[in-house]
């Protein structure tokens, strides 16, 4: 007996890249899938991480009763790359999808009306994801880097 399962194939339709002001080694990446779903994640280089470590070292050096320590504590998932050029970012997205870990790294910022979910999300009081409104603004104002 043949047992078929439905496969969720995600195909990026558009990739938008927004550089962080004053930091050429970090950017937000917004991915719109063929079905209209939008996801976002932060991409950075090792130079960005090293600067974060220097900042925490400097901060801990200035604080009384704390040993100066170099570390980087990231509050959100980061994808670390050697360079932030468009080809490398897009190849990385393709690899994350192929490895089936895209959804654990990228944050979904639009609602999936076709799928019921029991996931707890932060909403804006209207039952929509709080980040959905932010994504709409970002999509209209995003600076796309052309490498």
Residues 77-94 have pLDDT tens digits of: 899 999 999 999 999 999
CA distance 29 to 94: 13
Contact assessment for residue 4 and residue 131, using Cβ atoms and an 8 Å cutoff = no
H or E segment at 55?
helix 46-62
CA distance 14 to 122: 25
What local confidence, expressed as pLDDT, does residue 17 receive?
Answer: 96
CA distance 45 to 78: 10
What local confidence, expressed as pLDDT, does residue 142 receive?
Answer: 53
Could you tell me what percentage of the chain is helix, strand and coil, using 3-state DSSP and rounding each to the nearest 5? 30, 25, 45
The pLDDT mean for the chain works out to 80
What local confidence, expressed as pLDDT, does residue 22 receive?
Answer: 86
Q: What is the distance, to the nearest Å, from the Cα of residue 140 to the centroid of all Cα atoms in its chain?
A: 18
pTM of the model: 0.70
Residues 90-99 have pLDDT tens digits of: 999 999 999 9
Residues 9-58 have pLDDT tens digits of: 579 999 999 998 889 999 999 999 998 999 999 999 999 999 999 999 99
Better-predicted residue by pLDDT, 122 or 34: 34
Quickly tell me which residue has 């280089």 as its tokens.
45
What local confidence, expressed as pLDDT, does residue 140 receive?
Answer: 52
pLDDT above 60 (res 115): no
């Amino acid at each position: 007996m043949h047992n078929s399962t439905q496969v969720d194939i995600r195909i990026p339709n558009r990739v938008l890249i927004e550089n962080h002001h004053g930091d050429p080694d970090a950017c937000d990446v917004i991915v719109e899938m063929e079905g209209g779903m939008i996801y976002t994640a932060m991409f950075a280089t090792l130079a960005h991480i090293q600067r974060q470590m220097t900042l925490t070292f400097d901060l801990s050096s200035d604080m009384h009763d704390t040993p100066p320590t170099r570390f980087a504590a990231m509050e959100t998932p980061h994808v670390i790359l050697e360079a932030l050029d468009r080809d490398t970012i897009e190849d990385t997205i393709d690899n994350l999808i192929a490895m089936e870990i895209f959804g654990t790294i990228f944050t979904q910022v639009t609602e999936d009306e076709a799928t019921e979910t029991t996931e707890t999300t932060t909403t804006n009081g209207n039952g929509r994801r709080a980040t959905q409104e932010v994504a709409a603004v970002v999509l209209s104002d995003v600076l796309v880097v052309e490498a």
